[in-house]
Amino acid sequence: MNLVTGGTGFIGRRLVASLNNDEVVLLVRKVDESLKLPQVECELGAGEIPEQAFNGVENVYHLAGNAHDISGEQAAEIYQRVNVDATIELASKAAKHGVKSFVFVSSVKAGGLPLKGQCASEKDQSEPDGVYGQSKRQAELALLDLNEKTEMQVSIIRPALVYGPGAKGNLQMMLNAISKRLLPPLPDTGNRRSMIYIDDLIMAMKLIASHHAAKGEIFIATDGRQYSTREIYDAICLALGKKVPGWSIPKLLFDVLGLLSTKISYKTDKILGDECYSSEKLNSLGFKPEHTIWEKSSWLALE
C-alpha cells in the first residue's frame, strides 16, 4: 500500500497514475469522490494526521506542501507549519506504524543557489534560497535525524524545474505567452538551466523508494542536460508548431532596464541566469532519464 500526499497536484496525479497496479490511498484536504480512490481527509498543518491513514501502508510519498509563491508577513509561519511541522508529524507517525519507506519531495532551493558557472551537487550545500528553501531544508534535517533513529528508510529528492503537460508556474506562463505571440524571442546568453521531465522524476522517486542505498540520502533529480533559456523558448515554439524566430531581443536591452530598477534586474537574472545542478549521485543508483525538452510530448498532452 502506498500513501500519497499531494496526490491531486501536477506531480502527484502522475505519480498516482503510475502506481495503478498497486494499492494507493490519498491524504487529501477534502475528499473527492470522483477520484475513485481511498482517501483520508486531513489538512496538513491544520490538524492531527489520522492514525488510520497508515493502516497497511508500506511506502509514503510526501509531495504536499506550500509552494514558493507565498509572500507577506505570515509566509514564514505558514511554511513552518505546513512544510516543516506537518512533514515531521507525518514521518514520525509513518515510522510508528512500521512504514518501510518514506520519500520526501524537497526542492533544489533547500541546497541553496549554485555558484555562478557551476553545476551544484548534493555536496554543495549553502544557505537555502529564501524562506521556502529554508523550510524545506529544516524538514530535510529533521527527516534525516528520524532516519537514524528508526528502521524506516527516509529518502529525499530535490527536483530541478519540472516540465511536462500541465506544468504550472513560469513554464505555463511562458507556454501560454508564446502560443499567443505575446513573448518575443529571448536572447541566447549561453546560460545553463537544469530541468527534469515529470515522468522521469516519478521514475526517480520510485527508484529511491525501493533502493536500499537510498536510505538517509538526498538526491538531486535532473534529466542530465543543461538548457539555455533561449533553447527552452525554441523547444516550446517547436512543440506548438510555430516557426522558431531567427532574431531575438538584444541582451543589452535587459541590461539597461536592469540598471533602472532592482526589481527588473532580479527578474532578468531569474530568467536569463544560471541554475545548474548535477544528478550524478542519482544516476549511480541506475537512474536513466528518458526525455528531453525537444519532444512535443514534453509540453503538450498528445491525443
Residue 264: pLDDT above 60? yes
Interval 75-102: pLDDT, tens: 889 999 999 999 999 999 999 999 999 9
Across 126-132, average pLDDT: 92
- The dihedrals phi and psi of 249, each to the nearest 5 degrees, come to -65, 130
* Per-residue pLDDT at 302: 63
* Per-residue pLDDT at 303: 46
Query: Quick one: CA torsion of 85, 88, 93, 96, rounded to 10 degrees?
Result: -150
A 10 A CB-CB count for 195 gives 25
> Quick check: helix, strand or coil at residue 166?
coil
The count of C-alpha atoms lying within 13 angstroms of the C-alpha of 264, restricted to the half-sphere facing its C-beta, is 9
Residue 170: pLDDT above 80? yes
Residue 164's pLDDT band (boundaries 50, 70, 90)? very high
> Quick check: helix, strand or coil at residue 234?
helix
**Residue 109 in grid coordinates:** 532551493
Interval 176-219: pLDDT, tens: 999 999 999 999 999 999 999 999 999 999 999 999 999 999 99
Across 261-275, average pLDDT: 86
Run of H or E including 93 = helix 86-96
Run of H or E including 219 = strand 217-221
Burial 54-71 (b: 16+ CB within 10 A, else e): beebbbbbbbbbbebeee
Question: Is 2-164+195-225+276-298 a CATH 3.40.50.720 domain?
Answer: yes
Q: Where are the domains of the chain?
A: 2-164+195-225+276-298
Residue 2's pLDDT band (boundaries 50, 70, 90)? very high
Across 128-141, average pLDDT: 95
Cβ pair 43, 88 in contact under 8 A: no
* Per-residue pLDDT at 69: 62
Top mean pLDDT of 105-114, 162-171, 265-274 is at 105-114
